[in-house]
């Protein structure tokens, strides 16, 4: 069973540090709890503390997910809006979903679901640009019917499900099927099956990089990517055992080794190997169908590879992480102080009661 609550407080600079006496909104943790948590993390200075807490940039805000709680924080015109809800991981309900090569697919689908829900929630507080409105007219019968039907929670869940399905279908079509279709136009007498699969992977990578580059040029998305940078900086500061303050967080890099951007690159690379070992199909439709059938396999292997790389820190794993970190230059920007405040607030809301319960190795 999940519980949710929301709160709105006025915006103010450095509120994450100064407004510790507030009952909601930007608030700090009790001093003793902070010292206890920081002390336990400082004992790990000789090691590398990795937290399982992760997040996602949303519209004018950040979503953070901890061991047993999800928090969403946005900076709306009326103030800072927060929402929290408890959750139980699927593998705790059904242990089989936590098995290797199963957990990757389940985690990917769940991340898509949570991410889409957070984006839709944050969009409710996004200020639309004022435009000259045409003269008001009576809404049509269809408009009134839609407004009435979409008020229910069931209808909103249906819209969310449809949006997620359409989003996944579009992503699969652009990044998986389109490269297979384009390279499938080349006959086998021109280029061999294995080389054609390698070319397909190259086309897929070019499409992904081109998409990220073009999207990063959009003004609104640039702010989302700045919140993405704030999320990374906040988590890096926390993992280092430093006090969560704007000045401290700003010192840390905006690139993080366990980012979803790196996972996307891993998927592209793993897909080259998976599709290359299979018997090449000359039929265009069989090639496209094989990509759909093998997509869960690619996701499952990519997750396990990312998991292994995340658990180790040596020259080999640093080389493997380097391309993903480079790609984050496209998907993250330097945040301003207000964005960092949102990151701190979101992270503090999902910290476990017992320091160390969020250690990454316990959950991955």
> Residues 231-250: what's their mean pLDDT?
96
Q: Give the pLDDT band (50/70/90) at residue 161.
A: confident
Q: Give the pLDDT band (50/70/90) at residue 19.
A: very low
Domain membership of residue 148 (yes or no) is: no
Contacts of 363 by beta carbon, 8 Å cutoff, 6+ apart: 52, 67, 89
pLDDT in the model for residue 34: 55
Domain that holds residue 297: 4-126+153-362
How many domains does one find in the chain?
1
Closest C-alpha to 307, from 243, 262, 249: 262
What's the burial of 180, exposed, middle or buried (CB within 10 Å: 0-12/13-18/19+)?
buried
Give yes or no for residue 94 having a pLDDT over 90: no
Rg of the chain (C-alpha set): 22
Domain membership of residue 78 (yes or no) is: yes
Q: Return d(Cα 198, Cα 192) in angstroms, integer.
A: 10
Domain membership of residue 94 (yes or no) is: yes
Domain membership of residue 175 (yes or no) is: yes
Domain membership of residue 76 (yes or no) is: yes
Strands 69-76 and 54-58: unpaired
pLDDT in the model for residue 9: 47
Domain membership of residue 146 (yes or no) is: no
Per residue in 180-232, pLDDT tens?
Answer: 888 878 766 566 667 888 888 899 999 999 999 999 999 889 999 999 999 99
Residue with structure tokens 């292994």?
A: 308
Residue with structure tokens 């989003």?
A: 167
Contacts of 36 by beta carbon, 8 Å cutoff, 6+ apart: 355
pLDDT in the model for residue 193: 66
Domain membership of residue 133 (yes or no) is: no
> Residues 229-254: what's their mean pLDDT?
96
pLDDT in the model for residue 141: 60
Stated pTM of the model: 0.80
Per residue in 257-315, pLDDT tens?
Answer: 888 888 888 998 898 888 877 656 777 888 888 889 999 999 999 999 988 888 888 89
Domain membership of residue 277 (yes or no) is: yes
């Amino acid at each position: 069973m999940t519980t949710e609550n929301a709160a709105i407080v006025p915006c103010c600079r450095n509120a994450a540090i100064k407004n510790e006496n507030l009952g909601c909104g930007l608030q700090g943790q009790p001093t003793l709890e902070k010292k206890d948590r920081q002390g336990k993390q400082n004992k790990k200075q000789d090691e590398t503390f990795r937290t399982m807490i992760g997040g996602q940039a949303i519209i004018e805000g950040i979503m953070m997910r901890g061991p047993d709680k999800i928090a969403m924080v946005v900076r709306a015109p009326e103030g800072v809006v927060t929402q929290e809800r408890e959750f139980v991981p699927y593998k705790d309900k059904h242990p089989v979903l936590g098995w290797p090569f199963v957990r990757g697919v389940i985690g990917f689908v769940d991340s898509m679901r949570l991410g889409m829900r957070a984006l839709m929630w944050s969009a409710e507080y996004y200020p639309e640009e004022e435009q000259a409105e045409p003269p008001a007219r009576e809404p049509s019968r269809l408009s009134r019917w839609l407004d009435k039907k979409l008020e229910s929670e069931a209808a909103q869940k249906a819209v969310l499900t449809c949006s997620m399905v359409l989003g996944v279908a579009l992503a699969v079509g652009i990044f998986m099927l389109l490269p297979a279709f384009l390279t499938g136009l080349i006959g086998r007498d021109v280029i061999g099956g294995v080389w054609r699969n390698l070319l397909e992977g190259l086309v897929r990578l070019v499409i992904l990089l081109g998409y990220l580059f073009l999207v990063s040029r959009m003004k609104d998305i640039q702010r989302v990517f700045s919140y993405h940078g704030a999320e990374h900086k906040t988590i890096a500061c926390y993992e280092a055992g430093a006090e969560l303050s704007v000045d401290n967080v700003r010192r840390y890099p905006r690139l993080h080794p366990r980012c979803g951007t790196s996972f996307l690159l891993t998927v592209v690379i793993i897909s080259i190997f998976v599709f290359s070992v299979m018997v090449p199909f000359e039929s265009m439709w069989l090639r496209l169908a094989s990509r759909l059938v093998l997509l869960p396999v690619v996701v499952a292997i990519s997750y396990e590879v990312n998991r292994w790389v995340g658990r180790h820190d040596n020259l080999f794993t640093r080389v493997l992480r380097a391309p993903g970190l480079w790609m984050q230059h496209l998907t993250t920007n330097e945040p301003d102080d207000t964005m960092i405040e949102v990151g701190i607030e979101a992270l503090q809301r999902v910290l476990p009661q017992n320091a160390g319960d969020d250690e990454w190795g316990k959950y991955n």
